[in-house]
Amino acid sequence: MEIINRRQRMMSVARKLRREENRTIGFVPTMGALHSGHLSLIHEARAMCDVVVVSVFVNPAQFGPAEDFSSYPRDLTRDAALLAEYNVDYVFAPTVEEIYPSGFSTYVTVEGLSNQLEGASRPEHFRGVTTIVAILLSVVKPDFAFFGQKDAQQAILIKRMVRDLAFSAEIVVPPIVREESGLAMSSRNNYLNDDQRKAAAVLNRALSKAREAYEEGEHSAARLIEIVRVTIGKEPLARMDYVSVNDAETLEKLEKIDDRPALVSLAVFIGSTRLIDNVVLGKATKHDVAGAKA
Ligand code: PAF
């Protein structure tokens, strides 16, 4: 496994793999602090592609001024050891200056989809995400790029950006990986103490109740939202930020779920840690199985 810090080097390695060796590249972008969710993406990439590249870069452009950029967990030595165990071929771990050189002034925004849900609570967040993903896709030029379903809105935006700007990568979004309690794997779970970690299982519990109600015939968004709110309200350590029912592709807000897949997504504070989770209803794929372990 080679760790690459320079984008020129990453570009020339990737070019050689593609052109001279005719090998398919699977790319998993991460901000490090790797957990089983990332490892399942790597596992999927390993199964689908000849070469696996993982980036580790805590992207300042996607953190708001009051967010946790400086305290975000960073441990490249631990991450690299895990990645070597998973037979990753290349780790791209650039510095901030390497990605955003002095004078950097080009940003990518997916209009419309970036300001709602997570974007309403975190202005500029998605501009930062789509900008870094555009840069990384241009550097690595993978055949397939893998993103987690926990960040459902991010995956939707990236698919739209890739389509609109004609990136050649195909975007793959495997299902959410969960702890035994149902808590979705996230680097931010590291901020929770034991009691908070137990309390955080309420996110998946609330979504599972909404899914059960949907399966029993409840298709009104307002009533599904109420089920989620009531369940979250019963957990004293939890504070609701938002819950919403949207079209799973266009993110249009829905009043009723009918023939198109719907994304039920939420953000909840457990103490000062903000966690997100979601379930897709109305689509018979492995993606909407809340509680699935990949
Ligand atoms: O999902 C993440 O970890 C980040 O948003 C990503 C896609 C690596 C971009 O920084």
The pLDDT, as a whole number, for residue 201 is: 98
Q: Which residue out of 35, 38, 43, 125 is catalytically annotated?
A: 38
Cα separations in angstroms, 180 against 184, 274, 291: 9, 20, 9
Please write the tens of the pLDDT for every residue from 16-40. 999 999 999 999 999 999 999 999 9
Percent of the chain with pLDDT over 70: 96
The pLDDT, as a whole number, for residue 152 is: 97
Where in the chain are the domains?
Answer: 2-177, 187-281
Nearest CA to ligand 1 atom 6: 30
**Cα-atom radius of gyration of the chain, to the nearest Å?**
19
Q: Is residue 38 flagged as an active site residue?
A: yes
Q: Please give the CATH architecture assigned to the domain spanning 2-177.
A: 3-Layer(aba) Sandwich (3.40)
Question: Does residue 151 have its Cβ closer than 6 Å to ligand 1?
Answer: yes
How far apart CA 118 and CA 267 sit, in angstroms, is: 8
Q: Please give the CATH architecture assigned to the domain spanning 187-281.
A: 2-Layer Sandwich (3.30)
Centre of ligand 1 to C-alpha 234, Å, is 32
Question: Does residue 29 have its Cβ closer than 6 Å to ligand 1?
Answer: yes
Q: Which two tokens stand for residue 16?
A: 């050689």
pLDDT at position 293 over 50 = no
Please write the tens of the pLDDT for every residue from 197-236. 999 999 999 999 999 999 999 999 999 999 999 999 999 9
Centre of ligand 1 to C-alpha 31, Å, is 6
How far apart CA 44 and CA 142 sit, in angstroms, is: 14
pLDDT at position 108 over 70 = yes
30 sits in which H/E element: strand 25-30
The pLDDT, as a whole number, for residue 284 is: 52
How far apart CA 239 and CA 163 sit, in angstroms, is: 36
Closest-lying ligand 1 atom to the alpha carbon of residue 148:
1
Average pLDDT over residues 49-75: 96
pLDDT at position 67 over 50 = yes
Nearest CA to ligand 1 atom 2: 30
The pLDDT, as a whole number, for residue 235 is: 98
Question: Does residue 132 have its Cβ closer than 6 Å to ligand 1?
Answer: yes
Closest-lying ligand 1 atom to the alpha carbon of residue 30:
8
Question: Does residue 94 have its Cβ closer than 6 Å to ligand 1?
Answer: no
- CB-count exposure of residue 119 (10 Å: 0-12, 13-18, 19+): buried
Average predicted confidence (pLDDT) for the chain: 95
Question: Does residue 263 have its Cβ closer than 6 Å to ligand 1?
Answer: no
Same fold, 2-177 and 187-281: no
Average pLDDT over residues 251-265: 96
Question: Does residue 31 have its Cβ closer than 6 Å to ligand 1?
Answer: yes
